[in-house]
Amino acid sequence: MSFIPGSDSISQIISLGMYVFFIIFIFYGQRIQMYIMVREVENSLHKLRVIKDEGKKITIEAIKEIGKPTTDPTPRVERYLEYFTIGPQSMDPAGIVSKLDHILDTRDERLKEDVKLMAPQLIGNEVQINNLENTLEAAMALNYIYKVVRHFYIQGKKTLSLYVIMQLQMILPLVMKEAEAYASALKAFSYGQPIGDGVGPLIASKLMHGYEIRKVPKDCVAATVPFEGRTALVLKAEGPGGNVGKPGDAIETVIEENEGKIACLVMIDAGLKLEGEMVGEVAEGIGAAIGGPGVDQYKIEAKLTKYKIPNYAVIVKEDIGDAVSPMRKEINDAVDKAIDRVRDVVRERTKEGDKVIIVGVGNSIGVGQ
């Protein structure tokens, strides 16, 4: 009796082959699965490298075109792309917000100074300096994403660990989406086009346009606007350069100027949508609608708590890709809907003659006032 079934030699070879493969897959199935995953990660890493290199190229071209430097900015750009920021020590968290605030201010100043060194002809042109700084930051983000993915890819291959590679492969679609968004943002920043995140400042601009505008710390503007029988103090980051300002400081200043006599604060921002929700949907809620590292949110919440001022939020929904790429028509069309929602909030929550603060949170790139 033969162990290999089949009457002729060909079917015996096939049966033997099947046995061999069955045994190989029992012992090496996981490894083969890993090789397939490694291939997928490799493809994405290749795409990321192309996007990162293209990002660097666009940035250097933008600096050369706008800044007209006398020397080649490439080495300085390469140095800039490798910048890092060390967060404050959190073993004793007391006072950590002001430490983080100081670190972020130092970083911002340092990056701006570097842009001025790369493009000395732009000194005094804050709009273009801010736009170039934003372009460089997008290139920096792409560089960082590439390096992190490469790190885990090499680590996975070095250790031949299915689980390292598997984790990387599982989050890759999200990482790629973010990288593609930043790649799209590069052009928007270098051209000074409004981005999805700018919907807050765009709404604030619509409200304050035509009224006297004054600067408030830091990098923000304010206008006093009659609004539904109330007085609205409208705030936004100064545009049209790429700038998010420090809305925390601006709100603190305006509240103190009015000795805390504010009926409510309405914050308008771009909010991340969940899958299945429509881009440009407007929603309303409670709390400080502001992203970032949390410093501004902390300052706003502290000041509001001190004077017991209620805080309402209106958000325009979009995904991460929309937030950093040129503004979609749906988001632009949502501006009037969001203004109507702010009107409703102010009418329903305050009395005529009250003072309210309306803040458009986000990047003011491509949005004047």
Q: How far apart are CA 36 and CA 217, in angstroms?
A: 54
Residues 28 and 10: their CA atoms lie apart, in Å, by 26
Using rule CB under 8 A, residue 243 touches other proteins: no
Interior angle at CA 301, CA 299 and CA 302, nearest 5: 65
Provide the 10 A C-beta neighbour count for residue 285. 12
Q: Check residue 326 and report its DSSP letter.
A: B
Report whether 185 contacts 54 (CB < 8 A).
Answer: no
**Which of 239, 245, 248, 362 is in the footprint of other proteins by CB under 8 A?**
239
What is the nearest approach in angstroms of other proteins to the Cβ of residue 246? Answer: 21
CA distance 297 to 315: 16
The one segment of 40-48, 100-108, 216-224, 300-308 that binds other proteins by CB under 8 A:
40-48
The nearer residue to other proteins, 187 or 337, going by C-beta atoms, is 187
Least distance (Å) between residue 100 CB and other proteins: 31
Residues 6 or more apart from 134 whose CB is under 8 A from it? Answer: 185, 189, 242, 363, 365
CA atoms within 13 A on the CB side of 82: 5
Q: Does 174 bind other proteins (CB under 8 A)?
A: no
Buried b (16+ CB within 10 A) or exposed e, 171-200: ebeebbebbbbbbbbbbbbbebbbbbbbbb
Quote the least distance from Cβ 62 to other proteins, whole Å.
10
State which of positions 263-322 bind other proteins (CB under 8 A): 276
Nearest distance from C-beta of residue 265 to other proteins, angstroms: 24
Q: Is 32 in the site for other proteins (CB under 8 A)?
A: yes
Please tell me whether residue 183 binds other proteins under the rule CB under 8 A.
yes
Is residue 184 part of the contact set for other proteins (CB under 8 A)? yes
Choice between 109 and 336, CB closer to other proteins: 336
Answer whether 346's CB lies under 8 Å from 356's CB.
yes
Residue 204 C-beta: closest distance to other proteins, Å: 11
Q: Is 11 in the site for other proteins (CB under 8 A)?
A: yes
Q: Which is nearer to other proteins, 183 or 342 (CB)?
A: 183
Nearest to 58 by CA among 171, 183, 144: 183
* Part of the chain binding other proteins (CB under 8 A), chosen from 91-99, 281-289, 304-312, 324-332: 324-332
For β-strands 355-360 and 264-272, DSSP reports them as parallel
User: Rule CB under 8 A: which residues touch other proteins?
Assistant: 10-11, 13-14, 17-18, 21, 32, 35-36, 38-40, 42-43, 46-47, 50-51, 54, 154, 157, 180, 183-184, 186-188, 191-194, 202, 205, 209, 239-240, 276, 325-329, 331-332, 366-369
